[in-house]
Amino acid sequence: MNKLQTNNKRIMALDILRGITIAGMILVNNPGSWGHIYAPLRHAEWNGLTPTDLVFPFFMFIMGISTYISLKKYNFAYSHATLKKILRRTVVIFLIGMAIGWFSRFCYYWASAPDDLSFGENLWASVWTFDRMRILGVMQRLALCYCAASIVAITMKHSRIPYLIVTLLVGYFILLMCGNGFAYNETNILSIVDRTILTPAHMYKDNGIDPEGLLSTIPAIAHVLIGFYVGRLMLGDKDSAGRSREEILQSHLVKLFLVGTILTFSGLLLSYGCPLNKKIWSPTFVLTTCGLASSLLALLIWIIDVKGYKCWSRFFESFGINPLFMYVLGGVLAILFGAIRLPWDDGSVSITGLLYAKTLQPLLGDTAGSLAYALLFVAINWCIGYQLYKRKIYIKI
């Protein structure tokens, strides 16, 4: 676990914000029914921004800060050993994302196989789904962006990173403008490239647009680099040794609020010409969400580390100290809850069906019951995460 430290006392706000985003990702990914979701818990269909659209970019922003912290102990110096560690972690995270996708398809095909198949035929059909398995996804995007940002951090002067960020975002905007990049169909340049390289069988099915596609990884790398540079602004002061912790925290707050305000307003103002759009990870989406994440981190530092209001945050700290593990755990449990069948009346029902359709929906109604199931699912994940937190077990991925 990366710990943001000031005068030998870590700033809890980073862990808490990381935990809020992981809990939020688990919450919005696991409603009781996808047909019954409150509006703030839905992704924007195309252009626009909802609270749900913030959780993933917030985590990527925090990953940028964490990357700065983790590489700082190597003095950001290039070495074969450092590069090897970066590449190894990249491959591990990428393969975990692929494994979750494969496991989901295995459980789906195993549960829905025709009755006339033998055990061996069913097993083979469920195991061999690689010809139609999605290649990219959330974990895969995290892996690619972490790798690119880390390599930039150890090979480029940090004072030049803002120029690289601007180049990536402006270049991507030009690509969108020239390639019909704001069209929600298969004429979009992003869709064309993904269908050509990945092929439709290995893509997310959404009007030909893969929300974690190849070209949209370009601004996502810029997104993580913004987080990295914000980490540098916060922790790169060489004169902090002579200041008190309170003075350093005040400096952090000013910088974070300043960066947050500039990025947020820049993104919102430029959105008149470049719409906010998560599915293509538009440049204005990058600016706005990084700005909001920076401002929220500043607010949490003020609440938790300056004012000392920490009791409410313990719940999220259990998610924040093992973020990637908790996200993977949520994904695996969601698959199992949908795949495991329990006897019910004359047939069977999944764990999700038992909790939602048979219990919460009759009590609370369709939409409220769906939200209640999502909250219950988050609580189940927290129970596991809290045991790790209580025992100070940190699982690094």
Per-residue pLDDT of the chain (397 residues; tens, 9 = 90+): 444 444 445 778 999 999 999 999 999 999 999 999 999 999 999 999 999 999 999 999 999 999 999 999 889 999 999 999 999 999 999 999 999 999 998 888 877 767 667 778 777 878 888 888 899 999 999 999 999 999 999 999 999 999 999 999 999 999 999 999 999 999 999 999 999 999 999 999 899 999 999 999 999 999 999 999 999 988 876 555 566 777 777 778 888 999 999 999 999 999 999 999 999 999 999 999 999 999 999 999 999 988 888 888 889 999 999 999 999 999 999 999 998 888 887 778 999 999 999 999 999 999 999 999 999 999 999 999 999 999 999 988 7
Q: Is residue 51 part of a domain?
A: no
Q: Is residue 353 part of a domain?
A: yes
Q: Is residue 206 part of a domain?
A: yes
Last residue of a domain, one of 257, 272, 307: 307
Q: Is residue 301 part of a domain?
A: yes
Last residue of a domain, one of 274, 307, 340: 307
As a whole number of angstroms, the distance between CA 120 and CA 111 comes to 14
Question: How high is the pLDDT of residue 6?
Answer: 47
As a whole number of angstroms, the distance between CA 333 and CA 104 comes to 10
Are both 291 and 323 inside the same structural domain?
no
Q: Terminal CA-to-CA distance of the chain, rounded, Å?
A: 10
Are both 210 and 86 inside the same structural domain?
yes
Are both 257 and 318 inside the same structural domain?
no
Q: What share of the chain is helix, strand, coil (3-state, %, to 5)?
A: 70, 5, 25
Q: What is the DSSP letter of 356?
A: I
CA distances from 134 to 124, 179, 202, 237 (A): 19, 24, 4, 43
Distance of CA 247 to the CA centre of its chain: 32
Question: How high is the pLDDT of residue 3?
Answer: 44
Question: How high is the pLDDT of residue 240?
Answer: 58
Question: How high is the pLDDT of residue 8?
Answer: 41
* 208: containing domain: 56-307
Nearest Cα residue to 36 out of 269, 392, 356:
356
Buried b (16+ CB within 10 A) or exposed e, 173-191: bebbeebebebbeeebbbb
As a whole number of angstroms, the distance between CA 95 and CA 101 comes to 10
Q: Which amino acid is at 193?
A: V
Are both 299 and 355 inside the same structural domain?
no
As a whole number of angstroms, the distance between CA 111 and CA 253 comes to 52
Are both 288 and 228 inside the same structural domain?
yes
Q: Is residue 221 part of a domain?
A: yes
Residues 256-292 have pLDDT tens digits of 999 999 999 999 999 999 999 999 999 999 999 999 9
Are both 17 and 65 inside the same structural domain?
no
Last residue of a domain, one of 307, 323, 353: 307
Nearest Cα residue to 261 out of 299, 295, 302:
295
Q: Is residue 48 part of a domain?
A: no
Are both 281 and 334 inside the same structural domain?
no
Are both 21 and 157 inside the same structural domain?
no
Q: Is residue 50 part of a domain?
A: no
Domain count for the chain = 2
Are both 265 and 292 inside the same structural domain?
yes
Are both 130 and 110 inside the same structural domain?
yes
Write out the DSSP string of 47-78. Answer: SS--GGGGHHHHHHHHHHHHHHHHHHTTTT--
Interior CA angle at 289 toward 283 and 294, to 5°? 125
Are both 365 and 287 inside the same structural domain?
no
Q: Is residue 262 part of a domain?
A: yes
Are both 234 and 292 inside the same structural domain?
yes
Q: Which residues contact 323 (CB under 8 A, 6 or more apart)?
A: 18, 19, 21, 22, 59
